[in-house]
């Protein structure tokens, strides 16, 4: 075992033979190291468990009966976090995005779950010949004098803030890459050639992935050679690499990626072989070569890396590199072939993920309460949107209804809808004053929204069936439609600005009595629906439908169906351009 | 590990660790010690400083064995560290956890 100071903390490295008996003594040494690094006893227990699970897992994946290279464990402790890297030389194993617990009667299958739940970040990087499990856990703040009992939501809020920080980080890079894709694609279509586009694209990629160098090789027209198309290194023109010639005994990393059609990794543990052309740019650093495929056909290889071999790539940066690399390949190909259609396929996975996230936001069913009956409708325009509705119990006889619309679509919109919901749920104790709750949401979302030039319109309605009233507050959201049982209708006020526009914004509240009419909360997708001729539906047909519903004393479900029919008949064959969400409130006399 | 009997209860105690190297032995020895009239198994974890996922597997195996003979398993006085692991993996819903003074 060797230990010593590292760049910004203390570190230790050791090697474990592929034998389960070696794990416990190692963990005791690791505890000693963590103790010297000032890690508290209570934080050591989770680390001991995490390291045990990780080492056991690596050892169990060793091929039996073979002379196995040892498992290497590197531990690094800084003032803010502790990081462990467990390098194995096994064929590798599946690392789930989020491990689930097995059934209660299962005798195995909890190791990865424990690791993921006891660390803040975890990723498993598969390489050829060696794989690395990277784990990181933030250190808790030094102990302070115990504070007086927490306000009810504080702990939950802390968790939400932490999740938010992680998501914002992720979102910032995703959003950047999405806007870069949009910008460059537009430029490419306008200019019609791919020359400067590729260079600017690669620069963007370096920034997003915090890498030091990148090399793009494309197949020549006969698919016989990989030719350098662009590189971030000046004054370097790598020789073409033959693909079809008899394979050399020790092919270069790029050729291996091109022939295996899979990523090939290198780092100081499994360095580039002498003579590999990438040695010129990579030195002794780390990185990987990623084959660029279009419809299973190789069109090139993108290699990317860092000079510091210890700064291994985190999974987030790897997936951004792969996604952007694939996208770049696709753009180059589509320019070559003038085929626009090819482009969409690569985004399918991102769209699918965001779509799942978006759907998971919506409540399975609306709560029921005496005095009001509720029905909701949601439709997403394409795979993903930023509309969100919810109904939360907030006390006896009270429900907080929410309709919100995040500007834009895609992953950023879905993530902001998710953030909005998490914050809202954390502070349902503020629901008695929806205006104050909006102010709080605005303050807490402002920085992230402002940074990404986005905003959210939202409407909160506190439905109190005991007092027979609705307390309404809006942030730039379309006014509600209130309809009396005699058929007259009126709108509510517009309220304050959308969230994310003005940091100290105030959101007025208005109170309406429940009566025995009908009320409608909706997102703008409802009144901005278009027919095949391109005309907007507007507010009038919706108001008329609500008036009729109130006059007839329809159930909320019947009104929901009435509005759905209205929408379908108006749009006819036109494709919906925006998401649509609405909640119908049918006020009834309590039993 | 120590095995004791009282009425129809078998009690396991003096377990310092439950990990990948010793949990199958513990499981097998406990099963071998189950006399035919034992209907309750108490596992004393008051001196257990560490349990990993293999250890949890052994506890579940014993739980299944006991359920198979119409009996039950109780976990007695787990240390805070072990209790946290049981809660994190939601096995506190499976075992009855008993804290005695």
Domain shared by A462 and A377, yes or no: yes
**What is d(CA A583, CA A294) in angstroms, rounded to the nearest whole number?**
44
Per-residue pLDDT band at A435 (split at 50, 70, 90): very high
A516 in any annotated domain: yes
Q: Is A169 a residue whose pLDDT tops 80?
A: no
Per-residue pLDDT band at A143 (split at 50, 70, 90): very low
Nearest CB neighbour to B20, from listed A56, A113, A118: A56
Domain shared by A23 and A132, yes or no: yes
- Say what percent of chain A tops pLDDT 70: 80
- Average pLDDT score, chain B: 92
A20/B52 Cβ within 8 A: no
Per-residue pLDDT band at B45 (split at 50, 70, 90): very high
Note the pLDDT of residue A24.
92
CATH number of the domain within which A378 lies: 3.60.40.10
**What is d(CA A242, CA A247) in angstroms, rounded to the nearest whole number?**
9
A74-108 tens-digit pLDDT: 998 888 889 999 999 888 888 898 898 998 889 99
- The H helix count followed by the E strand count for chain A is 13, 22
Nearest CB neighbour to B94, from listed A21, A52, A104: A104
Nearest CB neighbour to A105, from listed B50, B60, B84: B60
A307 in any annotated domain: yes
Which of A57-61, A291-295, A516-520 comes out lowest in average pLDDT? A291-295
Domain shared by A207 and A300, yes or no: yes
**What is d(CA A193, CA A188) in angstroms, rounded to the nearest whole number?**
6
Write the CB contacts of A276 (distance below 8 Å, at least 6 apart in sequence). Answer: A252, A253
Region A130-151 average pLDDT: 64
Task: Indicate the residue among A324, A339, A354 that finishes a domain.
Answer: A339
Domain shared by A443 and A581, yes or no: yes
A558-569 tens-digit pLDDT: 999 999 999 999
CA distances from A89 to A13, A227, A271 (A): 16, 32, 14
User: In whole angstroms, how large is the CA radius of gyration of chain A?
Assistant: 29
Q: Is the dihedral of CA A562, A566, A567, A571 positive or negative?
A: positive
Note the pLDDT of residue A375.
94
Which of A184-188, A310-314, B28-32 comes out lowest in average pLDDT? A184-188
Domain shared by A330 and A377, yes or no: no
Task: Indicate the residue among A339, A371, A403 that finishes a domain.
Answer: A339
Q: Is A108 on the interface with B (CB under 8 A)?
A: yes
Note the pLDDT of residue A348.
58
- Average pLDDT score, chain A: 81
Q: Is A114 on the interface with B (CB under 8 A)?
A: yes
Nearest Cα residue in chain A from B52: A49
Global pTM reads 0.41
CA distances from A338 to A192, A296, A334 (A): 9, 18, 5
Burial class (CB in 10 A: 0-12, 13-18, 19+), A445: buried
Helix (H, G, I), strand (E, B) or coil at B18: strand
**What is d(CA A491, CA A472) in angstroms, rounded to the nearest whole number?**
12
Per-residue pLDDT band at A428 (split at 50, 70, 90): confident
Domain shared by A541 and A399, yes or no: yes
Q: Is A67 a residue whose pLDDT tops 80?
A: no
A356 in any annotated domain: no
Per-residue pLDDT band at A149 (split at 50, 70, 90): very low
Region A20-39 average pLDDT: 90
Domain shared by A458 and A495, yes or no: yes
A527-549 tens-digit pLDDT: 988 888 888 899 999 999 999 99
Q: B87: which 2 tokens?
A: 């809660």
Which is higher by pLDDT, A436 or A221? A436
**What is d(CA A376, CA A532) in angstroms, rounded to the nearest whole number?**
26
Query: Which residue spans within A307-436 are E strands per DSSP?
Result: 372-379, 387-395, 398-406
Which of A48-57, A570-579, B25-34, B83-92 comes out lowest in average pLDDT? A570-579
Q: Is A48 on the interface with B (CB under 8 A)?
A: yes
Q: Is A343 a residue whose pLDDT tops 80?
A: no
A578 in any annotated domain: yes
Note the pLDDT of residue A369.
80
Nearest partner of A509 among A418, A430, A395, A393, judged by Cα: A430
Domain shared by A312 and A395, yes or no: no
Per-residue pLDDT band at A168 (split at 50, 70, 90): very low
**What is d(CA A206, CA A347) in angstroms, rounded to the nearest whole number?**
20
**What is d(CA A423, CA A432) in angstroms, rounded to the nearest whole number?**
16
Domain shared by A335 and A418, yes or no: no
CATH number of the domain within which A77 lies: 3.30.565.10
A240-273 tens-digit pLDDT: 888 876 767 788 899 999 988 888 888 888 888 8
Region A193-204 average pLDDT: 67
Region A302-325 average pLDDT: 79
A161 in any annotated domain: no
Q: Is A169 on the interface with B (CB under 8 A)?
A: no
CA distances from A109 to A349, A434, A456, A536, B57 (A): 27, 45, 41, 54, 9
Q: Under a CB-based contact definition with an 8 Å cutoff, are residues A326 and A246 in contact?
A: no
Question: Which residues partner with A12 through β-bridges?
Answer: A3, A75
Per-residue pLDDT band at A413 (split at 50, 70, 90): confident
Q: What is the bridge-based pairing of β-strands B40-44 and B9-13?
A: parallel
Nearest Cα residue in chain A from B85: A114
CA distances from A224 to A290, A303, A336, B33 (A): 18, 19, 17, 70
Which of A142-146, A203-207, A212-216, B17-21 comes out lowest in average pLDDT? A142-146
**What is d(CA A66, CA A55) in angstroms, rounded to the nearest whole number?**
18
Nearest CB neighbour to A24, from listed B19, B93, B94: B19
A73 in any annotated domain: yes
A171 in any annotated domain: no
Note the pLDDT of residue A80.
84
DSSP per position, A287-305: EEEEEEEETTEEEEEEEEE
Note the pLDDT of residue A470.
93
Query: What ipTM was assigned to the predicted interfaces of this complex?
Result: 0.96
User: Between residues 52 and 81 of chain A, which touch chain B (CB distance below 8 Å)?
Assistant: 52-53, 56
CATH number of the domain within which A267 lies: 3.30.450.40
Nearest partner of B38 among B58, B62, B17, judged by Cα: B62
A28 in any annotated domain: yes
B20/A106 Cβ within 8 A: no
Region A401-429 average pLDDT: 84
- DSSP assigned state of A94: -
Q: Is A170 a residue whose pLDDT tops 70?
A: no
The nearest CA of chain A is from the CA of B46 a distance in Å of 16
Half-sphere exposure of A261 (CA within 13 A, CB side): 7
Q: How many domains are contained in chain B?
A: 1
Nearest CB neighbour to A53, from listed B17, B53, B58: B53
Which is higher by pLDDT, A468 or A194? A468
Please give the backbone phi and psi of residue A67, each rounded to the nearest 5 degrees, phi first: -80, 105
- Say what percent of chain A tops pLDDT 90: 33
Q: Under a CB-based contact definition with an 8 Å cutoff, are residues A86 and A53 in contact?
A: no
Domain shared by A82 and A35, yes or no: yes
Q: What is the bridge-based pairing of β-strands B96-98 and A469-475?
A: unpaired
Give which of B27, B53, B62, B68 to mutate to test A binding, by max A Cβ within 10 Å.
Answer: B53
Q: Under a CB-based contact definition with an 8 Å cutoff, are residues A372 and A388 in contact?
A: no
| Domain membership of residue A116 as a residue range | 2-138
Note the pLDDT of residue A5.
39
CATH number of the domain within which B90 lies: 3.30.750.24
Domain shared by A331 and A373, yes or no: no
B51-88 tens-digit pLDDT: 999 999 999 999 999 999 888 899 999 998 999 999 88
- How far does CA A546 lie from the centroid of its chain? 38
Helix (H, G, I), strand (E, B) or coil at A65: coil
**What is d(CA B5, CA A578) in angstroms, rounded to the nearest whole number?**
70
Helix (H, G, I), strand (E, B) or coil at A573: coil
Nearest Cα residue in chain B from A51: B52
Nearest Cα residue in chain B from A48: B50
- How far does CA A554 lie from the centroid of its chain? 41
B85/A107 Cβ within 8 A: no
Helix (H, G, I), strand (E, B) or coil at A80: coil
Domain shared by A270 and A318, yes or no: yes
| Domain membership of residue B85 as a residue range | 2-98
Q: Is A105 on the interface with B (CB under 8 A)?
A: yes
Region A203-209 average pLDDT: 80
Please give the backbone phi and psi of residue A231, each rounded to the nearest 5 degrees, phi first: -150, 150
Which of A188-202, A494-508, B62-76 comes out lowest in average pLDDT? A188-202
Region A213-218 average pLDDT: 90
Q: How many domains are contained in chain A?
A: 3
Q: Is A21 on the interface with B (CB under 8 A)?
A: yes
**What is d(CA A266, CA A263) in angstroms, rounded to the nearest whole number?**
10
**What is d(CA A105, CA B95) in angstroms, rounded to the nearest whole number?**
11
B94/A110 Cβ within 8 A: no
Burial class (CB in 10 A: 0-12, 13-18, 19+), A115: buried
Element spanning A570, H or E: helix A556-571
Q: Is A311 a residue whose pLDDT tops 90?
A: no
Note the pLDDT of residue A148.
38
Q: Is A125 a residue whose pLDDT tops 90?
A: no
Give which of A30, A46, A101, A104 to mutate to test B binding, by max B Cβ within 10 Å.
Answer: A104
Note the pLDDT of residue A395.
82
């Amino acid at each position: 075992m060797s230990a010593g100071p590292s760049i910004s903390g203390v570190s230790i490295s050791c090697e474990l033979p592929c034998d389960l008996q070696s794990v416990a003594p190692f963990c005791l040494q690791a505890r000693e190291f963590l103790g010297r690094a000032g890690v508290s006893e209570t934080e050591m227990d989770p680390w001991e468990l995490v390291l045990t699970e990780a080492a056991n897992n690596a050892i169990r994946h060793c091929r039996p009966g073979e002379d196995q290279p040892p498992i290497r464990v590197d531990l690094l402790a800084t003032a803010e976090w502790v990081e462990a890297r467990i390098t194995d030389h096994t064929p590798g194993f599946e690392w789930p995005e989020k491990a689930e617990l097995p059934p209660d009667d299962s005798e195995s299958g909890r190791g990865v779950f424990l690791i993921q739940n006891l660390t803040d970040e975890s990723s498993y990087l598969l390489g050829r010949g060696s794989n690395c499990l990277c784990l990181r856990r933030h250190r808790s703040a030094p102990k302070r004098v115990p504070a007086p009992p927490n306000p009810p939501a504080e702990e939950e809020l802390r968790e939400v803030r932490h999740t938010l920080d992680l998501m914002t980080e992720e979102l910032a890079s995703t959003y950047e890459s999405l806007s870069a894709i949009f910008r460059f694609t537009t430029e490419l279509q306008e200019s019609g050639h791919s020359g400067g586009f590729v260079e600017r694209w690669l620069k963007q990629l370096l920034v997003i992935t915090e890498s030091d160098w990148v090399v793009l090789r494309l197949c020549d027209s006969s698919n016989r050679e990989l030719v350098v198309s662009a590189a971030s290194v000046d004054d370097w023109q790598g020789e073409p690499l033959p693909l079809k010639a008899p394979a050399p005994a020790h092919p270069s990393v790029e050729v291996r990626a091109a022939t295996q059609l899979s990523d090939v990794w290198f780092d100081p543990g499994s360095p580039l072989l002498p003579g590999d052309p990438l040695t010129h740019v990579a030195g002794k650093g780390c990185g990987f070569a990623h084959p660029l495929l279009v419809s299973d056909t190789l069109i090139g290889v993108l290699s990317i890396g860092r000079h510091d071999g210890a700064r291994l790539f985190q999974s987030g940066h790897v997936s951004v590199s792969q996604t952007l690399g694939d996208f770049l390949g696709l753009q180059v190909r589509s320019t070559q072939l003038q085929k626009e259609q090819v482009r969409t396929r690569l985004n399918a996975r991102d769209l699918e993920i965001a779509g799942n996230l978006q759907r998971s936001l919506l409540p399975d069913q609306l709560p029921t309460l005496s005095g009001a009956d509720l029905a909701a409708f949601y439709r997403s325009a394409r795979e993903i949107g930023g509309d969100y509705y919810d109904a939360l119990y907030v006390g006896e006889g009270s429900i907080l209804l929410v309709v919100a619309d995040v500007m834009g679509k895609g992953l950023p919109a879905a993530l902001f809808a998710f953030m909005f919901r998490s914050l809202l749920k954390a502070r349902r104790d503020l629901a008695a004053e929806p205006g104050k709750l909006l102010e709080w949401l605005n303050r807490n979302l402002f920085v992230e929204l402002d940074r990404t030039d986005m905003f959210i319109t939202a409407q909160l309605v506190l439905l109190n069936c005991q007092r027979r009233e609705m307390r309404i507050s809006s942030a730039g959201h379309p006014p509600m439609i209130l309809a009396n049982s005699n058929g007259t209708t009126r709108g509510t006020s517009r309220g304050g600005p959308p969230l994310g526009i003005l940091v100290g914004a105030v959101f007025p509240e208005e109170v309406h009595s429940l009566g025995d009419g009908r009320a409608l909360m909706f997102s703008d997708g409802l009144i901005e629906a278009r027919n095949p001729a391109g005309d907007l539906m507007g507010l009038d047909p919706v108001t008329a439908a609500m008036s009729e519903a109130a006059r007839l004393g329809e159930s909320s479900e019947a009104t929901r169906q009435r509005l759905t029919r209205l929408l379908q008949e108006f749009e006819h064959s036109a494709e919906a351009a925006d998401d649509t969400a609405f909640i119908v409130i049918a006020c009834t006399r309590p039993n | 590990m120590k095995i004791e009997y009282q009425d129809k209860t078998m009690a396991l105690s003096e377990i310092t660790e439950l990990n990948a190297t010793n949990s199958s032995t513990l499981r097998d020895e406990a099963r071998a010690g189950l006399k035919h009239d034992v209907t309750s198994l108490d596992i004393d974890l008051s001196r257990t400083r560490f349990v990993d996922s293999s250890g949890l597997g052994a506890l579940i195996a014993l739980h299944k064995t006991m359920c198979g003979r119409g009996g039950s398993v109780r976990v007695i006085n787990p240390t805070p560290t072990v209790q946290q692991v049981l809660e994190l993996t939601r096995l506190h819903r499976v075992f009855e956890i008993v804290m005695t003074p």
